[in-house]
Structure 1
Amino acid sequence: MSPLLQGALTIFIGVGGCVAYFWASNVVLDKVLFPARGPNAGRNINRANLIRPWLFLLPALLALGLYLVYPVFGSFSRSLYNRTGAEFIGFGNYRIMLGDPEFRTALTNNLLWVLIVPAASTFFGLLIAQLTDRLRWGTVAKSIIFMPMAISFVGAALIWKFVYANNPDIGLINAILVAFGTEASIDVLQIPFWNNLFLMVILIWIQTGFAMVILSAALRGVPEETIEAAILDGAGPARVFFSIKVPQIMPTIVVVWTTITILVLKVFDIVYTMTGGNFGTQILPSYMMSYMFRDDGRATAVAFVIMLIVLPVMVWNIRQARKEM
């Protein structure tokens, strides 16, 4: 079957199945279970109206249970077995993982990513959003800064691999060093600790555009009356920005911050493409990937640890988003 015909058939079956499900479920609810006739008609209508929303939610709940809840419990169960899945070892994979120096390095690097990338992306996004709002060509500048968001992480990593290349004819950093009289070129991706910062620059470059767009919209929502009142009281541009605008958009800043934090905890493509986790750049997702095809139980244990780290941040993000509604 051709892909086009297969796609059309899938859409037809999916849409038709949904329509048939909702029609049949409502018929059963209104005609069979709670018919709107007889002495109990009013009570049956109320009961049917209480159940009807769950009929609409049931397909989504089943999909979430199948593709989200079940894999979580399945992954945790798998992490309690050995590499072949034949022997139950309890929390043995977790004990081995916690005692592995490479895991501690990955955890430390992940902490650095969480502390630096969201803060830098949010800061630069907020700064650019404020500055471009005052420029005549601000829309063009925002479009250019947002452009990296359209690039995949692997594509962005390959672009920056040329920037960091250990060759003054290709690498921008080494070309600058040669221009200042340095003879020997350096590979910045092999310098301990600093190579992590060079990798973080890539994600900051990508996520600054996202932060800028969200925070620019929030800044435009600040009431002009408060700004005019501050100016009449003698506040300068910096004071207006930090004392008037920033406090009013703080919930949006927190949402942007936590959204980027969740992304950082799951980032894998950049590290894997640039260094493969070598030279002290290992992070939890790349550490998990290194065991994926040789020790499934240990890799699943790392995946479960990542989920436990992401979960509180996600809950906090949802709560902050609800406060803005």
Structure 2
Amino acid sequence: METSIQKQNRLWLGLATILVPAINAVIHFQIFLFLRDAQLNPIWYAILAIIWGVGGVYTIYLSLNWVVEQYPVKWRQRVQPFIFIAPAIVLLAWLLLIPAIRTIVLSFMDAGSVDFVGFANYVAIFTDRLLFSALRNNLLWVVIGTLSCVSIGLVIAVLADRSSYEKLAKSIIFMPMAISMVASGVIWKFVYFYTPGNQQIGLLNAIVISLGGEPQAWTTLAQPWNNLFLIIILIWMQTGFAMVLLSAAIKGIPEEQLEAARVDGAGEIRIFFNIMIPYISGTILSVTTTIIVFTLKIFDVVMVMTGGQYDTDVVATQFYRQFFMYRNNGYGSTLAIVLLIAIIPVLIFNLRQFRKQGGGF
């Protein structure tokens, strides 16, 4: 039989499991209000935000884990995993799911998000010449950019694997991945820079003049050439990503299998196409779909280099212009949904490939 003291202790423990997380939440909310209303130096804001972020996450996990530890073992094993994934789910819902739902709602509203207009925005988008041009440009980025990144990355991975300078070569090729898209756009803006006359500070035009050619305004050339020069920036950045993953996959090919093929008289090209490619096909598909998603969302490079002018618009720059510059919330939200719909099938395919490779999804 349970004594009165045990009942009292269990009651106090039950209250504590409610009060501890509640007090923790109140404290963090007060810290948030203080940081929101205080007039501090931006440096102090940054320092306090880092301290609060790290310490806050730790205390939240600590208090919730303590609460779960008070449960019987049977319930503890069921509930405890959710303690560690629940904050991530809440953040994903807050930062991704709720904005996505709100964007869907706005896509059925007028420019001022006041009146319901049904599918009028969707009809307007698919009859808009500018959107057709943006979709065509996105297709160029997807096809040419993705194929170039994957094929060049694969070739470099195979060649570097046989080189004594493998680490150095891979480091140099992977280095652009450490640079942001905006910074890459600024770098390549100087590469393509053009001024009338023969005094060129742009690297590409300087090379052209030294070879006896005429300097060009590369990013203002007729379609599709200006887009191709922008796609080169993507290739410069993403080839290293493809190379690293494909190189890791190539190193996983059993050496005995390659040696057996060479003993049977197979040449290196035949080994490449008949053994290497089939063996790493799963990785090639994963890398390809990842870069496709990236190219469908391309924005920074186009915005920095041309601002979408000279027929270089993509769907993301159209969305930015409509939503933030023209304040056409309905039309801009519809563009965002169209882009989301285009990306979802690729993501689903990528997740299925990941599951097939034993990713656990």
Of 1-10 and 281-290, deviating more is: 1-10
Q: 5 Å matches for 1:12-51?
A: 12-27=55-70, 29-30=71-72, 45=74, 49-51=77-79
- Inter-partner Cα distance in structure 1 for 2:215 and 2:55: 59
- Inter-partner Cα distance in structure 2 for 1:6 and 1:72: 27
Is residue 308 from structure 1 mapped to residue 336 from structure 2 by the alignment? no
Question: Which residue in the other structure is 1:281 paired with?
Answer: 312
Is residue 203 from structure 1 mapped to residue 231 from structure 2 by the alignment? no
Is residue 7 from structure 1 mapped to residue 50 from structure 2 by the alignment? yes
In the TM superposition, residue 78 of structure 1 has moved relative to its aligned partner by 1.1
Is residue 240 from structure 1 mapped to residue 268 from structure 2 by the alignment? no
Determine which of 79, 89, 108 is the counterpart of 2:107.
79
Of 60-69 and 129-138, deviating more is: 60-69
CA displacement 1:37-60 (0-9 Å, x = unmatched)? xxxxxxxx3x66445444543333
Question: Which residue in the other structure is 1:259 paired with?
Answer: 290
SS of equivalent residue, structure 2 residue 114: coil
Aligned amino acid, residue 311 of structure 1: I
CA displacement 1:144-192 (0-9 Å, x = unmatched)? 111111111111111111221224522233223323433x432111112
TM-score (norm 2): 0.81
Is residue 123 from structure 1 mapped to residue 156 from structure 2 by the alignment? no
Question: Which residue in the other structure is 2:355 paired with?
Answer: 322
- Inter-partner Cα distance in structure 1 for 2:103 and 2:58: 32
Question: Which residue in the other structure is 1:191 paired with?
Answer: 221
SS of equivalent residue, structure 1 residue 82: coil
Q: Are the aligned partners of 2:65 and 2:80 in contact in 1 as well (CA < 8 Å)? A: no
| Number of residue-to-residue matches in the alignment | 309
Given the superposition, is the C-alpha separation of residues 178 and 12 from structure 1 closer, same or farther in structure 2, using an over 3 Å criterion? closer
Aligned amino acid, residue 69 of structure 1: L
- Inter-partner Cα distance in structure 1 for 2:53 and 2:216: 53
Question: Which residue in the other structure is 2:181 paired with?
Answer: 153
Is residue 297 from structure 1 mapped to residue 330 from structure 2 by the alignment? yes
Determine which of 303, 314, 317 is the counterpart of 1:272.
303
CA displacement 1:208-267 (0-9 Å, x = unmatched)? 011111111111110011101100110111111111111101100111111111111111
- Inter-partner Cα distance in structure 2 for 1:10 and 1:170: 45
Given the superposition, is the C-alpha separation of residues 6 and 151 from structure 1 closer, same or farther in structure 2, using an over 3 Å criterion? closer
Q: 5 Å matches for 1:55-66?
A: 55-66=83-94
Unmatched 5+ stretches in structure 1: 31-35, 37-44
- Inter-partner Cα distance in structure 2 for 1:60 and 1:163: 42
Determine which of 173, 178, 187 is the counterpart of 2:204.
173
Unmatched 5+ stretches in structure 2: 1-39
Q: Are the aligned partners of 2:319 and 2:332 in contact in 1 as well (CA < 8 Å)? A: yes
Identity %: 40
In the TM superposition, residue 25 of structure 1 has moved relative to its aligned partner by 3.5
Q: Are the aligned partners of 2:126 and 2:132 in contact in 1 as well (CA < 8 Å)? A: yes
CA displacement 1:79-113 (0-9 Å, x = unmatched)? 11111111111112111111110011001110111
CA displacement 1:264-310 (0-9 Å, x = unmatched)? 11110000000100111000001111112221221111111111111
